[in-house]
C-alpha cells in the first residue's frame, strides 16, 4: 500500500499523478528507496526527502518516463517549426523544450534548423527536465539506434558519427546549440530569471500530471511564452489547454498555440528589424526533406506511429523480403499497394513483423481500431516486438488507457534497455 503522505508529496512537489504510472509503480519505487536508505516508515522517508535534494533525485529517477525519440511527431512538424524560427525577427531566437528528457526533441529541432540553413548562432535552445539522469544522457549527445525510430529521412548520416559502443554521437556544433538544465515544470519559480521564449515545446508531459499540476504548468507556459510566441504541444496537452488563455493556430495537426489575448507586461521577444540571417550563418538547405507514411500517421490521420528502427533486429533483411517490399510501399505513401503486398506476403507466412506492418498501414489509413488489433496480434506472436510495443503504447495513451500504456512501456524498457548515463 502506498504510504499516503508520500503519495501527497509526489503529487504536490513533482506534480506526478501516481495512477498515470500504472498500479504499483509508486509503491515499488518507494519501497526500493526506503530499503536503500534503511528507513521503514513513511514519515522517516518524508524526512529524508525534506532534508536531502539528492534523495528527491533518486526517487524521481524511479518514477519518470524517459520515452522520447528523434523527430517524434514527424519530420514535417520539426520542419514547420524550423521554418517559423527562420522567419522570426529575434536575435537569437529563444526556444524552450520542456520537458526535454534525454535530448532527442531539442536536438531534432537543431537538426531541422541546420537543414534549413539556420546557423546555431542564430538561436538558443534550452532543454529542461526534472530528471538529472536524463539530462546527463542528453548532454553526452550519444544515442542508441532505437532513438531513430521515427519514419522519414534518417538524420544519422548527416549529423551523427557512430561510436565504438554502437551508439550515435551528435555533431559538436549541434550539441552546443542546446543547453540542458534541471527544472521542474510545476514549480511556480521555474526559469524566473529567464524568458520570454519565442518558441516553447511542451509535449508528452500532461498525461503524467495531476490536474492541479497541469494548471501550474499552464501558468508557467503563459508566463514564459513571448507575447507573439508559439507553443507546440502534443495532442495529449492540446486537449487540455484552457481556450481562454491559449488559442490554436497553424496547421491543426501540429498542435500549435499562441496567447489568446495580449497581456499587459508580457514582452515581445523579437527585435523590430526584418528577420534575415547573416549570409555567413547560412548552411546549405537540404533538398531531400520528405514525408513518409508514419509522418502522415502522426500528422492527424489516425494517431501516431513509430519507425521500425533501422538498426533493429526486426528490420526486414533484404528487398527480397516480401514484407520489406510492403514496408517500402507504405513508406512511399502507396497504401493500397502496400496493403496488397502485405496480403501477398501474409499468404506465405504469419509473423509479428507482418502484423506490426499491417498496424502501421492501418494507422496511415486512419483506422486506429484496426491498427490496435494488428499490433495486438503482433504482440501475441512476439510479446517483446519493439515496434508493435511502441505503437501500442501511443494508441493506449491516446485512448486514456494509461495503466496499460505504462505496463507496455515497462516491457519496452526491458527489451530496449536504456544506456547508462
Residue ranges binding ligand SAM (CB under 6 A): 14-16, 64-68, 72, 99, 101, 105, 129-131, 134, 184-186, 203-205, 208
In the chain, the N- to C-terminal Cα span, in Å, equals 31
Complex with ligand SAM: residue 222 or 328, whichever CB lies closer: 222
d(CA 268, CA 77): 24
Neighbours of 394 (CB within 10 A): 26
CB atoms within 10 A of CB 87: 10
d(CA 14, CA 34): 18
To the nearest whole angstrom, how small is the minimum distance from the Cβ of residue 205 to ligand SAM?
5
Helix (H) or strand (E) holding 379: helix 368-381
Name which of 56 and 355 has its Cβ closer to ligand SAM.
Answer: 56
Q: Between 65 and 174, name the residue whose CB sits nearer to ligand SAM.
A: 65
Residue (174 or 358) nearer to ligand SAM, CB? 174
- State how beta strands 197-202 and 93-97 pair: parallel
Nearest distance from C-beta of residue 231 to ligand SAM, angstroms: 13
Give the residue with the Cβ less far from ligand SAM, 134 or 142. 134
Question: Is 356:365 a contact under the CB 8 Å cutoff?
Answer: no
Residue number with CB closer to ligand SAM (98 or 326): 98
b/e per residue 253-263 (b: at least 16 CB within 10 A): bbbbbbbeeee
CA–CA dist 136, 350 (Å, integer): 42
Nearer to ligand SAM among residue 60 and residue 339 (C-beta) = 60
Shortest distance (Å) from residue 129 CB to ligand SAM: 5
Q: How far is the CB of 185 from ligand SAM (least distance, A)?
A: 3
Tell me the C-alpha distance between 336 and 263, whole Å: 50
Measuring CA to CA, which residue among 150, 190, 209 is closest to residue 15? 209
Least Å from the CB of residue 289 to ligand SAM: 20
| Contacts of 75 by beta carbon, 8 Å cutoff, 6+ apart | 112, 150, 152, 153, 289, 290, 291, 295
DSSP SS3 for 200: strand
DSSP 12: I
Between 78 and 342, whose beta carbon lies closer to ligand SAM? 78
The backbone region for 14, taken as left when phi is positive above 0, alpha when psi lies in -120 to 50, beta otherwise, is alpha
Min. distance of Cβ 142 from ligand SAM in angstroms?
Answer: 17
Q: How far is the CB of 337 from ligand SAM (least distance, A)?
A: 32
The SS3 assignment for 359 reads helix
DSSP assignment of 245-302 equals TEEEES-GGG-EEEESS--TTPPP-S-SS-----GGGPPPPPTT----HHHHHHTTSS
Rounded to the nearest whole angstrom, what is the least distance from the CB of residue 354 to ligand SAM in the complex? 28
Interhelix angle for 75-86 vs 104-115, to 10°?
Answer: 60
Closer of 104 and 387 to ligand SAM (Cβ): 104
| CB 65 within 8 Å of CB 409 | yes
**Smallest distance, Å, CB 15 to ligand SAM?**
5
Q: Which is closer to ligand SAM, CB of 64 or CB of 112?
A: 64
By beta-carbon proximity to ligand SAM, the closer residue of 86 and 135 is 135
Angle ∠(304,17,138) on CA atoms, nearest 5 = 60
Considering the complex, what minimum distance in angstroms separates the CB of residue 66 from ligand SAM?
5
Q: How far is the CB of 260 from ligand SAM (least distance, A)?
A: 23
Amino acid at each position: 500500500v502506498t504510504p499516503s503522505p508520500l503519495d501527497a508529496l509526489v503529487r504536490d512537489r513533482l506534480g506526478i499523478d501516481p495512477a498515470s504510472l500504472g498500479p504499483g509503480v509508486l509503491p515499488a519505487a518507494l519501497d526500493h528507496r526506503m530499503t536503500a536508505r534503511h528507513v521503514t516508515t513513511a514519515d522517516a522517508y518524508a524526512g529524508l526527502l525534506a532534508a536531502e535534494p539528492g534523495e528527491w533525485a533518486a526517487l524521481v529517477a524511479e518514477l519518470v518516463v524517459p520515452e522520447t525519440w528523434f523527430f517524434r511527431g514527424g519530420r514535417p512538424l520539426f520542419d514547420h517549426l524550423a521554418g517559423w524560427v527562420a522567419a522570426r525577427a529575434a536575435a537569437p531566437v529563444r526556444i524552450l523544450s520542456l520537458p526535454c528528457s534525454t535530448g532527442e526533441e531539442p536536438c531534432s529541432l537543431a537538426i531541422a534548423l541546420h537543414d534549413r540553413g539556420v546557423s546555431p548562432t542564430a538561436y538558443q535552445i534550452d532543454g529542461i527536465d526534472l530528471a538529472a539522469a536524463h539530462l546527463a544522457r542528453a548532454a553526452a549527445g550519444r544515442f542508441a539506434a532505437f532513438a531513430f525510430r521515427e519514419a522519414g529521412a534518417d538524420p544519422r548520416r548527416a549529423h551523427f558519427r557512430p561510436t565504438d559502443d554502437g551508439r550515435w554521437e551528435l555533431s559538436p556544433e549541434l550539441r552546443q546549440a542546446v543547453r540542458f538544465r534541471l527544472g521542474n515544470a510545476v514549480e511556480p519559480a521555474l526559469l524566473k530569471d529567464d524568458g520570454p521564449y519565442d518558441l516553447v515545446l511542451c509535449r508528452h508531459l500532461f498525461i503524467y500530471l495531476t490536474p492541479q499540476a497541469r494548471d501550474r504548468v499552464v501558468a508557467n507556459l503563459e508566463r514564459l511564452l513571448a507575447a507573439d510566441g508559439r507553443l507546440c504541444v502534443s495532442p495529449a496537452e492540446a486537449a487540455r489547454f484552457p481556450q481562454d488563455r491559449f488559442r490554436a493556430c497553424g496547421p491543426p495537426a501540429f498542435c500549435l498555440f499562441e496567447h489568446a489575448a495580449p497581456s499587459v507586461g508580457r514582452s515581445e521577444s523579437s527585435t523590430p528589424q526584418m528577420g534575415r540571417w547573416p549570409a555567413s550563418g547560412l548552411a546549405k538547405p537540404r533538398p531531400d526533406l520528405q514525408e513518409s507514411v508514419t509522418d502522415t500517421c502522426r500528422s492527424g490521420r489516425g494517431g501516431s506511429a513509430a519507425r521500425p528502427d533501422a538498426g533493429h533486429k526486426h528490420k526486414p533483411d533484404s528487398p527480397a523480403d516480401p514484407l520489406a517490399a510492403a514496408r517500402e510501399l507504405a513508406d512511399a505513401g502507396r497504401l493500397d499497394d502496400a496493403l496488397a503486398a502485405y496480403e501477398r506476403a501474409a499468404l506465405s507466412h504469419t509473423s509479428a513483423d507482418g502484423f506490426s506492418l499491417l498496424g502501421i498501414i492501418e494507422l496511415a489509413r486512419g483506422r486506429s481500431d484496426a491498427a490496435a488489433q494488428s499490433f495486438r496480434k503482433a504482440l501475441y506472436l512476439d510479446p517483446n516486438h519493439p515496434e508493435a510495443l511502441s505503437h501500442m503504447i501511443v494508441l493506449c495513451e491516446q485512448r486514456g488507457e494509461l495503466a496499460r500504456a505504462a505496463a507496455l512501456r515497462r516491457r519496452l524498457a526491458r527489451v530496449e534497455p536504456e544506456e547508462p548515463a
